[in-house]
Structure 1
């Protein structure tokens, strides 16, 4: 089934090669693709911006996932179903939906096709901007809690507690009944406390091992990266505690050499944590899915989780470039969103 108003072509933001966003993004007329089996066509109303967007645009992850050009960027998106493919029974034209369209992107287009295995209805009461802010960061945060084994009574430290993933992890851990310490800069302390953090540690004034002693935490969730986070966590985690990280020790381009170092580092840290009393090193690599996004949505519907949007931009080439530059600067509180 297809909406009668869907055009055959569209204006989309496209990437033609790797490089800085302002140098490699442009607009182009592209075909509107009809959905295939188990796919849904979505008219994009809003798109979220995440660090992975500019990392992929610049080619920093090309060793892991190489793009075919031209490519329409932005993975997080929300909009309205305009067509459904063969075999689709869970969605209808007119439904409000959102997704992390993990490999295919497309948030910079007017229309995009999304596999139903990634798609979920937008929770009642959420506008498109809020819906576009949730999929990637929300699923990542929930995966961190799952991998960390966070439950009621757990003592959890969230490093980078004011960022896109971190501010959602704080809320989710609080909702799970954990005692949460939010690690962030002092200027963001009030914001992190408003999310449900029981304590705030100003990372500009001290480090975990100075503020807390041995056996202080069951889980440390790292949303910042760098070797120092691991070193500090080992000093404050209880025996058998888990260091869950979404980041690498090194920023920048993934090369053969850096990938080899990463594998060696992960292996060594896991071996060091072997046994019931060892500190567990748990890297998180998100695998988005509709069931996982449904769980995020349930937390949202129940009032436990809210994506904080620090700024919105128009979903235009200029808006995308400005939002990416702000994300790249690394000082965003919560999320950045583009909308029509």
Structure 2
């Protein structure tokens, strides 16, 4: 088998503040022959099957901003976590043709990767391989580690999750429920709220866009206050939630998607609540969590078992075709997805 082109998505322009648009990315077709491309020692050629699109990528589009992750380079391919099938192998590799691997790849149909940066996938009966980019991957350990290590849930506590129908939030609520907590979530459409209540087992949920006010919503759905707020949204949502937190409550800060495309950052006004109520607020990264071997061990054991036993409901928002990745990414930032945003490349 050979191919004469490789479809690759390039980072074309820094969007600055404000919304990312498709024009900031460029779909290109490059000359490519899978049977002839040179492989150095320790390299393999991957045929990309799935790509993961995640909100943190928005930060990598700010080329002049300091962040925890290096910015994308203008004119170069965008990058993402992905699953690929080994098509060819170079000298000195242990992988074999046909192996499925997980790694950091380009937004492309084909990618030459160093074997040392790849992980051979373990295949579980009845579990889609794309779950390794979601519930069994980075979003999964983000949900599990943020809740367990920072949130420290206790039976009977109230857990509130913003962005609850996303890749991380959907799992957080279910894990909290399994530990005997009362779980409340918010999302941006009535259909997402329905998923939370009818499929993910949330005790209560609301559409933050249509409620009379966030304050009224918290009074209604969290009448005993909030013990753990798993924050995916930041901004006004965090500001109002602070006034409903209980004494010695905890806030794992996973993200602030309401601010990623804001032309002006929202100034949180209620931080004095952290002193009055002795609230713990802690931001975290998945890379921190992967460094905790005991946590990773427990995550793998617990979540794989829950998925295989059907005790966890997980949803994927799959868009087919690498050429549709730019529009899918814009949609992700605007909340068009329910569950994990995936690009099916092949």
**Fold equivalence (TM over 0.5):** yes
Q: Which residue of 2 aligns with 1:223?
A: 232
Cα distance in structure 2, aligned partners of 1:41 and 1:297: 29
Q: Helix, strand or coil for the counterpart of 2:310?
A: coil
When residues 237 and 305 of structure 1 are mapped into structure 2, their CA distance, relative to the original with a 3 A threshold, is same
Q: Indicate which of 160, 180, 187 corresponds to 1:157.
A: 160
Deviation at 1:133, TM superposition (A): 4.0
Q: Which residue of 1 aligns with 2:145?
A: 143
Cα distance in structure 1, aligned partners of 2:12 and 2:123: 32
Does residue 308 (structure 1) correspond to residue 308 (structure 2)? The answer is: no
Does residue 245 (structure 1) correspond to residue 245 (structure 2)? The answer is: no
When residues 142 and 88 of structure 1 are mapped into structure 2, their CA distance, relative to the original with a 3 A threshold, is farther
Q: Helix, strand or coil for the counterpart of 2:338?
A: coil
Does residue 26 (structure 1) correspond to residue 27 (structure 2)? The answer is: yes
When residues 214 and 231 of structure 1 are mapped into structure 2, their CA distance, relative to the original with a 3 A threshold, is farther
Q: Which residue of 2 aligns with 1:95?
A: 99
Mapping of residues 127-276 of structure 1, within 5 Å: 127-134=128-135, 135-146=137-148, 147-184=150-187, 185-193=189-197, 194-203=199-208, 204-205=210-211, 206-207=213-214, 208-212=217-221, 215-226=224-235, 228-248=236-256, 251-252=259-260, 273=274
Deviation at 1:123, TM superposition (A): 3.5
Gaps of 5+ in 1: none
8 Å CA contact 1:48, 1:132 repeated in 2: yes
Q: Which residue of 2 aligns with 1:110?
A: 110
Q: Give a deviation string over 1:25-84, Cα, whole Å, max 9, x none.
A: 232347676574xx876431111222233443x426743223345533242312324567
Deviation at 1:152, TM superposition (A): 4.2
Cα distance in structure 1, aligned partners of 2:38 and 2:275: 51
Deviates more, 1:188-197 or 1:76-85: 76-85
When residues 121 and 22 of structure 1 are mapped into structure 2, their CA distance, relative to the original with a 3 A threshold, is farther
Output the TM-score relative to the length of structure 2: 0.72
Kindly tell me the number of residue pairs found equivalent between the two proteins: 317
Gaps of 5+ in 2: 16-20
Cα distance in structure 2, aligned partners of 1:46 and 1:10: 15
When residues 54 and 230 of structure 1 are mapped into structure 2, their CA distance, relative to the original with a 3 A threshold, is closer
8 Å CA contact 2:161, 2:173 repeated in 1: yes
8 Å CA contact 1:54, 1:324 repeated in 2: no
Q: Which residue of 2 aligns with 1:327?
A: 332
Cα distance in structure 1, aligned partners of 2:115 and 2:154: 32
Cα distance in structure 2, aligned partners of 1:118 and 1:125: 23
Q: Helix, strand or coil for the counterpart of 2:227?
A: strand
8 Å CA contact 2:11, 2:77 repeated in 1: yes
Q: Give a deviation string over 1:230-266, Cα, whole Å, max 9, x none.
A: 33333332211111222248724799x97xx99xx8x
Q: Helix, strand or coil for the counterpart of 1:66?
A: coil
Deviation at 1:195, TM superposition (A): 0.6
Output the TM-score relative to the length of structure 1: 0.73
When residues 16 and 180 of structure 1 are mapped into structure 2, their CA distance, relative to the original with a 3 A threshold, is same
Q: Helix, strand or coil for the counterpart of 1:121?
A: coil
8 Å CA contact 1:40, 1:85 repeated in 2: yes
Q: Which residue of 1 aligns with 2:9?
A: 13
Q: Give a deviation string over 1:163-216, Cα, whole Å, max 9, x none.
A: 232112222223334321122344422200111212223423242542256753
Deviation at 1:298, TM superposition (A): 4.5
Mapping of residues 44-83 of structure 1, within 5 Å: 44-56=48-60, 58-59=61-62, 62-64=65-67, 65-68=70-73, 70-82=75-87
